[in-house]
Chain A
Amino acid sequence: MSARLARLALAFYPLAYRRRYGEEMAALVEDVGTSPAAVADLLRGAARAHLRPPPGMGQELGPEDRLRLGLSSILLCWVVFSVAGIALYKTTEDHAFTTAAGAHGLLGAAHLAVQLLALVATAAVALGATPLIVIALRQARDRRAVERATVLATGCVLLFVLATAALVVVANLRPAHGDVDAAAGLAIWTGVALACGIGCAVAGRLGLFAITVPRDILRASAACALVVVLGMVGIALATAVCLVALLHDAPGLAGQGNGPLELVSVAASLGIQLAVMLAVAAPAALSATRAWRRPAAG
Chain B
Amino acid sequence: MRYISERSTDPGLLVLASLADGPKHGYAITQDVEVVAGVKLGPGTLYGALSRLERRGLIEALPSEDRRRPYRITAAGSAALEEQLRMLDRVVDAGMRRLRAAGATS
Q: Give A contacts to B, CB under 8 Å.
A: 6, 9, 17, 20-21, 23-29, 31-32, 37-38, 40-46, 48-49, 54-57, 298
Structural contact, A32 and B48, CB atoms closer than 8 A = no
Q: Which B residues lie within 8 Å of A44 (CB)? A: 42, 44-45
Interface majority SS on B: helix, strand, loop or mixed?
helix
Interface size classification for chain B: 20 to 34
B57-81 contacts to A, CB under 8 A, are 66-69
Is B13 part of the contact surface with A, judged by Cβ < 8 Å? no
Is B18 part of the contact surface with A, judged by Cβ < 8 Å? no
Q: Which B residues lie within 8 Å of A21 (CB)? A: 47, 50-51
Assuming the A-B contacts A28-B26, A49-B48, A54-B55, are A23 and B43 also in contact, with contact meaning beta carbons closer than 8 angstroms in the complex?
Answer: no
Structural contact, B45 and A45, CB atoms closer than 8 A = yes
Structural contact, B68 and A37, CB atoms closer than 8 A = no
Structural contact, A42 and B44, CB atoms closer than 8 A = yes
- In whole angstroms, what is the CA distance A43 to B46 when docked? 13
Structural contact, B51 and A42, CB atoms closer than 8 A = no
Structural contact, A23 and B51, CB atoms closer than 8 A = no
Chain B residue nearest to A9 in the complex (CB): B44
Is B90 part of the contact surface with A, judged by Cβ < 8 Å? no
Structural contact, B27 and A28, CB atoms closer than 8 A = yes
- In whole angstroms, what is the CA distance A31 to B45 when docked? 16
- In whole angstroms, what is the CA distance A41 to B26 when docked? 15
Structural contact, A41 and B42, CB atoms closer than 8 A = yes
CB distance from B44 to the nearest CB of A (A): 2
Q: Which B residues lie within 8 Å of A54 (CB)? A: 51-52, 54-55
Q: Which of A20, A27, A31, A45 contacts B44 (CB 8 A)?
A: A45
